[in-house]
Amino acid sequence: MRKRYTIEIADNSHLVVYCPQELLQDKVIKKIAFGSKAIEVDFRPHRMKNNCIVISNEVKKQLLFPDFSLKLHVFIEDSVLNVGPLVGIFTAGFTPFPHRPIGDRTSFFSKLLSVKANVGAIPFVFGEKHINWDTGTISGYVYHDHNWDSIEVPFPNVIYDRLPNRKSERNPKLAKVKETLQRDYLIPWYNPGFFSKLDIYERLQQDHLVTRYLPETHPFTSFSMIEDMLSKYGHIYLKPINGSLGLGVHQILYDKVQDEYYCRYQDREGVNRLRKFSSLEGMFKTVLANRNLDKMIVQQGIHLLRHEQRPIDFRIHTNKDDKGVWHVTALAAKIAGLGSVTTHSRNGGEIKTLSEIFQPEECNLYKEKLENAALLVSKAIANNMEGFIAEIGFDLGIDKHGDVWLFEANSKPGRSIFSHPELKDFDQLTCKLSLAFAVFLTEQSILYPEEIIKW
């Protein structure tokens, strides 16, 4: 059974570590490791509290162990006592300001790093420029006692990918860092990239357990495809394959009686528009003239549940815990702004809890349906994608018949729903499990490295 120990520092210049007798019993331990740094030390039993490991000042110095004391996990394998995990959080967009080192995202990272005591891990934030390849160390940022500090640490046990956008993900320098740390240093990397809507759809179509949640979706090829789907569903959505925040989404509706087309979208000034056209060609020449249609998908329109005549969809966060098990960690309803094509808050959308808009019986029914769907799809995505997926944000809908539909899966979900006062605790829970998975992945990489390398 996994156990945590408080790591304390003794004023001692020898390479010595004092451990509870239970740790040393029937084991030959020669080294202590912190992240990628391992040194030979003299292990001695102590008669103090059983949940405490004492390292000398010299051991602390050579391991680059931080000054603060935490209750950390211990994994013993191949005569090495591994203390940690040390979790690197890789991102971009650093500033020269010590109190706001990651710009506007500093407050999010401070919340993320603040759960370290609950999780039993030492997380730090770093970017490409903070790595010293010659010494195998990183000058990263830690958040402790409500302050940001820069400290030098070894290469971490695992890395949590928090690159902010697709542009940074495509940056050759950042891609090279990821490749080198994974390939040459065998450091496991989780939540490794942004999802493509079409890629997710095509992969999930192979899993019969989740196909019922998938609206018909195709890459754009022709007007005739749109005509076919409009005749089948009455309305469709045209979306960028790699879009986010609802940007570039167009809803196209067809009125059979009047033989007219309508397009709902947000213009470049951020104004919600609804325009009427006599032909599909006319609509595309006017509204979509400057769009790269080869990078768009066409998706079946769903007649969603409504609140006060406005469509509702749902944001669900799922996370793997420190045992590698999926959990629903947050759930909220998003109500579309007046005349908006999406439910995003930047388009006038509102965030509500389910209990604010549904009666108790309905609320329980919809909550169960959404959670079941989110967990099933989470497992399907993790099984069908490369790398370690441990966190997903879903946009799900429920139609007028009570059926659940998957609109989008995000590997780096936005956090706008946590502005709702009743979702603050879930904000912390998602942060906690994001780091807790690092404990599981570290344990697997130490005890079963051959399994990790397969990924």
In what helix (H) or strand (E) does residue 239 lie, and over which residues does it extend?
Answer: strand 235-240
**Chain centre to alpha carbon of residue 236:** 28
Residue-wise DSSP of 246-291:
TTT-EEEEEETTTTEEEEEEE-TTS-EEEEEES-HHHHHHHHSTTS
Give the pLDDT of residue 245: 64
Give the angle subtended at the CA of 334 by the CAs of 336 and 356, to the nearest 5°: 115
Which residues, including other chains, have CB under 8 Å from residue 366's CB and lie 6 or more apart? Answer: 354, 358, 398
Per the CB < 8 A criterion, the answer to whether 213 and 373 are in contact is yes
pTM: 0.92
How many angstroms separate the Cα of 3 from the Cα of each of 43, 119, 120, 305? Answer: 19, 12, 10, 47
pLDDT of residue 215: 96
| Per-residue model confidence (pLDDT) at position 172 | 97
Q: How far apart, in whole angstroms, are the C-alpha atoms of residue 313 and residue 304?
A: 8
The Cα–Cα gap between 216 and 22 comes to: 58
Bridge partners (DSSP) listed for residue 357: none
CA count, 13 A, side-chain hemisphere, 141? 28
CA distance 392 to 318: 5
Is residue 38 within 8 Å of residue 64, measured between CB atoms? no
CA distance from start to end of the chain: 25
| The pLDDT value given to residue 244 | 67
* CA dist., res. 427 & res. 2, Å (int): 26
pLDDT at 453: 60
CA 93 from chain center: how many Å?
18
Per-residue pLDDT of the chain (455 residues; tens, 9 = 90+): 688 999 999 999 999 999 998 888 888 899 999 999 999 999 999 877 778 999 999 999 999 999 888 899 999 999 999 999 999 999 999 999 999 999 999 999 999 999 999 999 999 999 999 999 999 999 999 999 999 999 999 999 999 999 999 999 999 999 999 999 999 999 999 998 899 888 999 999 999 999 999 999 999 988 889 999 999 999 999 998 877 666 788 999 999 989 999 999 888 887 888 999 999 999 988 888 777 888 889 999 999 999 988 999 999 999 999 999 999 999 999 998 776 666 666 666 799 999 999 999 999 999 999 999 999 999 999 999 989 999 999 999 999 999 999 999 999 998 989 999 999 999 999 999 999 999 999 999 999 888 776 55
SS3 assignment, position 77: strand
Check: CB of residue 380 under 8 Å from CB of residue 200: no
Strand 80-84 and strand 42-46: the pairing is: unpaired
Helix axes 223-233, 280-287, angle to 10 degrees: 110
